[in-house]
Amino acid sequence: MKFFVDTAEIDEIKDLADSGLLDGVTTNPSLIAKSGRDFKEVILEICKIVDGPVSAEVASTDYETMQKEADNIAGWAENIAVKVPLTEAGLKVCKNLSDNGTMVNVTLCFSTGQAILAAKAGAAFISPFVGRLDDISQDGLQLISDIVRIYDNYPDFHTEVLVASIRNPMHIIDSAKMGAHVMTAPPKVIKQLYKHPLTESGLAAFVKDWAETGQSIL
């Protein structure tokens, strides 16, 4: 499974990139607004930090303006994945971009039918929102399982399932069990994967025992 981080905070991205865990980055208008910085400036800086796909989202909803924005964003860096909403206009833009070799991340997916449409439009990534479905008492992980199964039935589909709106480590683990290709999560959730009480208690015991020897490795 590829690990993307869902943030526009440069320091957080650098920290994860240094660990070797990071395969890409996703952003959205809300994350850019939270950063308080210029959109293009942030995206270009991220693209220099990571070699993998960096999702940068269009802001318009009508086809003509969305296409202009997408064409502009696509030219910023080679590892840009233009992010478009799963609407009729968004999928038209997706088809145009993918035909020209540009990676497209189709976002705000909430059904298998939508995922099929995105694959047929040539999307590089489809982003089903697990947490937001859970919020309305629907099974977000079941959607991931269904999309993976459908895509596996059709070798001509090359769209990767990018699990989004991840709220906890189990969303990541369960999605990996289902065969999802990519996940994107906030830095805090990714770092929770490090933690286990037995790891912490075991390390504390090792440190205590070593201290009692009075020795030093350095």
Sequential pLDDT tens for the chain (218 residues) = 999 999 999 999 999 999 999 999 999 888 988 888 999 999 999 999 999 999 999 999 999 999 999 999 999 999 999 999 999 999 999 999 999 999 999 999 999 999 999 999 999 999 999 999 999 999 999 999 999 999 999 999 999 999 999 999 999 999 999 999 999 999 999 999 999 999 999 999 999 999 999 999 99
Give me the pLDDT at residue 35, please: 87
111 falls within a domain: yes
- Residue 69 belongs to a domain with what CATH number? 3.20.20.70
Q: Which residues contact 3 (CB under 8 A, 6 or more apart)?
A: 21, 22, 23, 24, 182, 183, 190
Domain housing 58: 2-213
63 falls within a domain: yes
72 falls within a domain: yes
- Whole-structure pTM value: 0.94
Can you tell me the distance from the alpha carbon of 214 to that of 55, in angstroms, rounded to the nearest whole number? 51
Can you tell me the distance from the alpha carbon of 213 to that of 103, in angstroms, rounded to the nearest whole number? 56
Cβ atoms of residues 101 and 84 within 8 Å: no
Active site residues: 83
| SS3 state at 186 | coil
Sign of CA dihedral 109, 86, 30, 35: positive
Distance of alpha carbon 202 from the chain centroid: 33
> For residue 180, which phi and psi values (nearest 5 degrees)?
-60, 140
204 falls within a domain: yes
In the chain, the number of structural domains is 1
218 falls within a domain: no
